[in-house]
Structure 1
């Protein structure tokens, strides 16, 4: 006879025969109420049980109509299990399965039109593979700040029936790692009835809050797959100019940096080779950090919290980045409720937060969530870090919005690329960062400092960093809106 504990806290005893059926019933429904006790929801706690190693098709049989399924994302998206989940939903003619995620990579077969009555995707931050589904009304987006996402599970606003994640293979102690993504995954796992883990040997082992013991995994699926690659493009001249403006004018020695992936963060990092004692506290970071660590520019020495450590929550990059974080105790993975907590951020010295956007109006409103009515991304961590930097205890924080002055993909009636600095935001556009939150806006033409300035002063500063092809038009439009000429 063997004793085991299910995901919602019931202890039960089963024999070898018929154990699969009993285990499935109790894990899914918690039916054994005669003898039970509550155990810690911490997934690093060692329990007296083993995962069941099965195929992806077998693992998803536990999903039924009306379930809520949480899916791990970014570079750790468990695509093989998600494909099996989609096939299972079609074959069993499931209905109303809610699939929640923060940001997933690869394709999303469960979001295709033929799955509209089977699966309902719900995005906490809209990834590219879900934009079409959500904009066509077949999926949902929840507006919320990144640091708030774990509270959806902890406050039981979204009860999770099944979590599907990717982990590294277990070590000799039975511990796996969540690898490139902790973000909100750990909170979802702690409140999930069933955990399905895709076990991938290519997933780097990371530490901090990334550790999960295999005894918390109900179904383990072995599937080795290379992680998705991002950030291999060289920056354009525009992106390089923006990076240089930020590095030369706004990043001080001893600063703590927040930046995501992409050409502008990489261009900024490449210009910081002569800086000293920089630190990283960021929900994610890019490959440009690696060379700065190795050259001694990034030391994390001056940080008030987590001194000596790079603190992050999820990672996407190339193989160089994945190799860098693998088994690297310098990297401390934390939940977004910590990395993106304004009170944590504000304690870091000279906190410098670099974020991007879709467009900025002449009052300083920052549009990042949608292109007009078309949903594009969401709130993410922008406001978390913009506000955290602004509230810096040392008064030396730098909240930065960086963007190219024009959109090369679209042209106005004159046939020139459209301006990203606009008199009035597009109808339906989602303002993520308000004009009161805005401090620095950087384009390839310079730095606009907005904090403490009136509307006409803001308009003047923003027009000066707009593309020269648009400055005269913006000045006239500013007068029409404000009834006064822009002025320093």
Structure 2
């Protein structure tokens, strides 16, 4: 321990000293979400503007804070590139001050390995060093293996970051570190609506005991989890660990005992959640955070039986095409691991995937089921991959259906106020004769 502490003290730096290590044109990568190194980036923003350091590229998946480097005019110094768009970078991307790099989540490390090349700098927020000299990757291990090819590694050590199992960085690997006591970002679960409960209940009825779950973000996945409390021996293999999973642990529904791989363990790649969830995963060997190219690999996912993938989407058309990432031409979120888990579930023995959404928006004035996707919308999940669609008006399984059967089935779960016009449109499109 004394050896590692001596090395720690030698590598400890002030934020501005780390910022001075960056050069014009540096390509930088961070682990995602809560692990973005906010202290380093704040110091870098100040240093770059003062010293005219330009064209630094900062890559991250799903930023969760307003930060000075994202301000208008900062893009010539630090150019933000997102692997998944959030409320904190959406406007900048739309205005051209930042950019979005689309890719299935499982493929992001491969993009770096085979196309983008070795980054100049890898940085992330981590938990405090243990007695063996290891820092835990904390709430995200998604891109952690990219560090192995980076020219320099800088860490931001935060005592409020939970120490999680699965992915660690050793003190001997890094070039410098700083300490930051600012509490990490906490994200409250969205409220569960009556429609969420309807949708969640329908999906839960189709989930067997012993299933392995992947839950996405939002009220609907949380409603599904709420309806699963009486199930037995559920397992978790999911890109995200969420608040509702803690509830299922506490009811005894999650045991992970029937999983074919990693039995007894929940396997995930990131979380952003409440403090209660951070406390649950802290020093908890039952939950492992592993790199995303492993967790989200459909071939790995499919090794478990009865994989149940539950995700949301923004709109669906009568062909069965699904948009989950854009609002028209505007990048709104990202595909994330949706396709990864849909394909993994499809290859799993007994697996099922559900795309769940409310049938209308804007207080019922806008149907989320369209004849064709809104102009400019991107197809996130192709019609060839879609399994089950769910709204508050029912569940339909598109696999095995003809185009005409699909159109009729999709219309049947649309809001009743729009079914007639959707049927008329389907006839004009020669989907219903």
Q: In the alignment, which of 6, 18, 22 is matched to residue 63 of structure 1?
A: 22
Distance 1:483 1:343, change over 3 A: closer
- The superposition leaves residues 423-474 of structure 1 with CA deviations (integer Å, 9 ceiling, x where unpaired) of 1101111101000101100111110111010111111111111111111111
SS at match of 1:75: helix
Q: Does 2:290 correspond to 1:342?
A: no
In the alignment, the residues of structure 2 paired with residue 220 and residue 192 of structure 1 have an alpha-carbon distance, to the nearest angstrom, of 15
> Contact 1:464–1:471 (CA<8 Å) still a contact in 2?
yes
Q: CA deviation at 1:230?
A: 2.0
Counterpart-to-counterpart distance in 2, 1:126 and 1:233: 18
Alignment of 1:119-134 (within 5 A): 119-134=78-93
1 CA distance for matches of 2:203 and 2:270?
Answer: 24
Do 1:273 and 1:297's aligned partners in 2 also have CA atoms closer than 8 Å?
A: yes
Tell me if structure 1 keeps the 8 A contact 2:36–2:60.
Answer: no
Question: Which among 144, 148, 156 is matched to residue 198 of structure 1?
Answer: 156
Deviations 1:56-93 (A, max 9, x none): 12211111101111123212222122111111111111
1:90-113 CA-partner distances (Å, limit 9, x unpaired): 111122111111222111322322
What stretches of structure 2 of length at least 5 have no aligned partner?
A: none
How far 1:139 moved relative to its partner? 2.1
Superposition map of 1:366-445 within 5 A: 366-392=322-348, 394=349, 396-408=350-362, 416-445=364-393
- Distance apart, 1:152 and its partner CA: 2.9
Which whole-Å CA distance do the structure 1 matches of 2:32 and 2:278 have between them? 15
Deviation digits for residues 199-218 of structure 1 (CA, Å, limit 9, x no counterpart): 1000000111x211122222
Kindly name which structure, 1 or 2, has the bigger radius of gyration based on alpha carbons. 1
Shift in Å, 1:290: 1.2
Say if 2:134 is the partner of 1:175.
yes
1:318 Cα shift? 0.1
Q: Which of 32, 39, 50 pairs up with 1:73? A: 32
Q: Is the 8 A contact 2:27 2:58 kept in 1?
A: yes
TM-score (norm 2): 0.95
Secondary structure in structure 2 of the residue aligned to 1:187: helix
**Does the C-alpha gap of structure 1 residues 232 and 375 become closer, same or farther in structure 2, counting only changes over 3 Å?**
closer
- Residue 49 of structure 1 and its aligned partner are, at CA, apart by 5.0
Q: In the TM superposition, what is the alpha-carbon distance from 1:399 to its structure 2 partner?
A: 1.1
- Whole-Å separation in 1 of the counterparts to 2:148 and 2:60: 16
Q: Which whole-Å CA distance do the structure 2 matches of 1:293 and 1:483 have between them?
A: 46
- Aligned pairs for 1:234-249 within 5 A: 234-248=191-205
SS in 2 for 1:442: strand
Q: Does the 8 A contact of 2:215 with 2:311 survive in 1? A: yes
Q: Deviations over 1:284-336 (max 9, x none)?
A: 02111112212221111111111110000001110110011000000011111
After superposition, the CA RMSD in angstroms is 1.7
State the distance in 1 between where 2:408 and 2:101 align.
35
